[in-house]
Structure 1
Amino acid sequence: MTVQRILILTGDFVEDYEIIVPFQLLLTIGHKVDVVSPGKKAGDFLATAIHDFEGYQTYTEKRGHNFELNATYSDVKASDYDALVIPGGRAPEHLATDESVLELVRAFTSANKPIAAICHGPQLLLAAEILSGRKVAAYPAIKSQVTAAGAQYQDIEIDGAVTDDKLVTAPAWPAHPAWMSHFLKVLGTKIDP
């Protein structure tokens, strides 16, 4: 297997599972994974949030774990990485207001590198204006944002994922197996039993 260098771009109140699960899975497979957040450096912590589906009209939110960053945002260049992962939660909403973040996301797109985004993660891709005409799965609450940006919202099961060329998206953390499976295929990662 070719080891790939993957960047996870996020911020405070990222969804807990949506950062921890892909981070640990990609490391376990053998890829190099850096996690960064604007204004923070390696060794700093992010606050995470746990979103759960408990039978209400929307998900509930609770304080999650502290997640330690292993790289410094100001050192990051898209050219140093093979792919980008954008977890959901509240982080994409505030990251979408940072022009340096949008420029970084656009650099991955311009270089035609794989991007995986889940739940509210596509909000960051929408703000970077790179989703027009693309098939996108996302948390249903942002369907109107996805369609307003000219993307084709994919109304799939909560545990499904969608691949459109090198873009892999999914509705929420129950989709981790499908989302990461699709992403590994896009990366060309083959795991020998």
Structure 2
Amino acid sequence: MSNKTVLMIVGDYVEDYEAMVPKQILETLGVAVHTACPDKKAGETVATAIHDFEGEQTYSEKRGHNFAVNTDWQSVKEADYDGLVIPGGRSPEYLRLDERVLEIVRDFAKHEKPLAATCHAAYVLTAANVVREKKCQAYPTLRPELELAGAVWVEPSEGLDSVHVDGHLVTAPAWPANANWMREFARLLGIAL
């Protein structure tokens, strides 16, 4: 089992499957997952959104569950963590405006610690300015933002089940890639599978 500890940054309307399932996968591997949200304390929750692919031109959105925050935001210290997970959903739209969130992301990038981002989490990566010349995937509608930030778009070869690793950065297009996304993140953490 692992002795690793990772930070997962969430906010209201984080994508349900991109927070809950990766947390459970990592915990199954023995990884301690500290969930934190700006301005929230351990014991509080964030609302999740469930995005589904039902045949329309874009995903649908429904209210999900209450996702537990188990770490006080004010106590987050980057040095305490071996890796960072940023789920997608609606929360990245406003998390990217929080300077402390961006500081944390920049610190993980600077120290080349494993950093996992999926779907709309690319908003946070671009706002933190950590994707220049990095090969990335995200939800396809974020391609322009990634390219404007200097990233190299990698077309998902397996549809939404795809994943891409570039150094310490592992990105995926959406929750259907959770198994592949977390497998590659675990490898970056040094966990033998």
Q: Could you tell me the TM-score, scaled by structure 1's length? A: 0.97
- Number of aligned pairs? 191
Structure 1 unmatched ranges of 5 or more:
none
2:129 corresponds to: 129
Q: Is the 8 A contact 2:8 2:84 kept in 1?
A: yes
State the 1:34 CA deviation: 0.2
RMSD, matched Cα:
0.8
One-letter amino acid of the structure 1 residue matched with residue 169 of structure 2: L
2:17 corresponds to: 17
1:97 corresponds to: 97
Write the deviation string for residues 76-130 of structure 1: whole angstroms up to 9, x where unpaired: 0110100000000011110000111111111111111000000001110100001
1:176 corresponds to: 178
Structure 2 unmatched ranges of 5 or more:
none
1:1-193 equivalent positions in 2, closer than 5 A: 1-156=1-156, 157-191=159-193
Determine helix, strand or coil for the equivalent of 2:20.
helix
Which runs of 4 or more aligned residues in structure 1 lie more than 6 Å from their structure 2 counterparts after TM superposition?
A: none
Identity %: 50
Write the deviation string for residues 11-65 of structure 1: whole angstroms up to 9, x where unpaired: 0000000000011111111011100000000000100000000000000000000
State the 1:140 CA deviation: 0.5
Determine helix, strand or coil for the equivalent of 1:17.
helix
Q: Write the distance in 2 (CA, Å) between the matches of 1:147 and 1:160.
A: 19
Q: Is the 8 A contact 2:2 2:29 kept in 1?
A: no
Q: Write the distance in 2 (CA, Å) between the matches of 1:165 and 1:15.
A: 25
Q: Could you tell me the TM-score, scaled by structure 2's length? A: 0.97
Determine helix, strand or coil for the equivalent of 2:39.
coil
Determine helix, strand or coil for the equivalent of 2:56.
coil
Determine helix, strand or coil for the equivalent of 1:71.
coil
Q: Write the distance in 2 (CA, Å) between the matches of 1:28 and 1:43.
A: 22
One-letter amino acid of the structure 2 residue matched with residue 58 of structure 1: T
Q: Is the 8 A contact 2:165 2:184 kept in 1?
A: yes
Q: Write the distance in 2 (CA, Å) between the matches of 1:105 and 1:132.
A: 14
State the 1:164 CA deviation: 0.1
Q: Is the 8 A contact 2:95 2:124 kept in 1?
A: yes
One-letter amino acid of the structure 1 residue matched with residue 35 of structure 2: V
